[in-house]
Amino acid sequence: MTEIDLQPLLTVAIDAASNACEAILEVYASPDFETERKGDDSPLTLADRRSHSLIDSQLSATGLPVLSEEGVDIPYEQRRHWTRFWMVDPLDGTKEFLKRNGEFTVNIALIEGNTPILGVVALPVTRDIYYATRGNGAWLRSNSSVTRLKHRAPADLTQPGLRVVASRSHMNDATREYIAKLKEPQLISAGSSLKFMAVARGDADLYPRYVPCMEWDSAAADVIVSEVGLKTVDAYTGEPLKYNKENLLNPYFICGV
């Protein structure tokens, strides 16, 4: 597989995510936002579509395929031959968007083989952008400043007081059982891929996920977490997550080990 210069692709991805954030905010801030409205013209669907359209247009210009949650269903027999492709969640955090709590994101990843090698996680409400490319560290752009996220040691599961971040909207019995096995854990709640970012920033030690989610929910964040020295692994096998599987559903996983 030939080497690829990730910097220009990162620039495109960050620009696409920024534009998508602005489009989402226009819908989010609209005066007729109705959380209970159904159908294709609901605020959520409208924000999803606008974000997807902008991102797809900009990423497609790179000549690489785009696999998006809001895009056309692409058969595995076609995408299994892709060497590199974009994986996108144009609006991650459905319930957070509808609750208007600000905890939703735009996720863009570049996949090579079965592994994400570039990731951008953008927060529309704060306009913060987390990003990373393989081997170049993880970074946070906030306002006009850019800071590198510090390298972190994996969580020691035998230590008391571990900070565990869990879904604000998807807490379930399996997650509670995992947390109950830890010593005096401190529970932190967050929505969307912000749970990964809490681990990457050092505000949380672990993110156990025992609720189904798709590859595009984790791909971008997976790179960012790995670039601070941590792993996101299958909760049962301990193996790294694989991407572009025939079934795009993730296994249950643990982030921060």
| Structural domain includes residue 157 | no
Report whether pLDDT(128) > 90. yes
Query: What pLDDT is stored for residue 252 in this prediction?
Result: 97
| Structural domain includes residue 64 | yes
Return the closest-CA partner of residue 224 out of 243, 251, 254, 198. Answer: 198
Q: What is the pLDDT of residues 49-62, one digit of tens each?
A: 999 999 999 999 99
**Separation CA 50–CA 20 (nearest Å):** 7
**Separation CA 243–CA 180 (nearest Å):** 30
- Provide the domain limits for residue 243: 163-255
- Residue 38 pLDDT class (50, 70, 90 cuts): very low
CB 217 within 8 A of CB 107: yes
Phi, psi of 110 (to 5 degrees): -110, 125
Return the closest-CA partner of residue 127 out of 47, 20, 228, 250. Answer: 20
- Residue 45 pLDDT class (50, 70, 90 cuts): confident
Report whether pLDDT(4) > 80. yes
The residue out of 88, 114, 148 marking a domain boundary is 148
The sign of the dihedral angle between the CA atoms of 223, 229, 230, 231 is: positive
191's CB contacts (< 8 A; 6+ apart) are 93, 95, 96, 101, 103, 104, 167, 168, 169
| Structural domain includes residue 224 | yes
Are 169 and 205 in the same domain?
Answer: yes
The residue out of 118, 148, 178 marking a domain boundary is 148
| Structural domain includes residue 153 | no
Residue 123 corresponds to which tokens in the numbers above? 């927060």
Query: What pLDDT is stored for residue 144 in this prediction?
Result: 86
Are 138 and 173 in the same domain?
Answer: no
**Separation CA 165–CA 89 (nearest Å):** 21
Report whether pLDDT(39) > 60. no
Q: What is the pLDDT of residues 56-89, one digit of tens each?
A: 999 999 999 999 998 888 999 999 999 999 999 9
Q: What is the pLDDT of residues 158-168, one digit of tens each?
A: 999 999 998 76
Report whether pLDDT(146) > 60. yes
| Structural domain includes residue 116 | yes
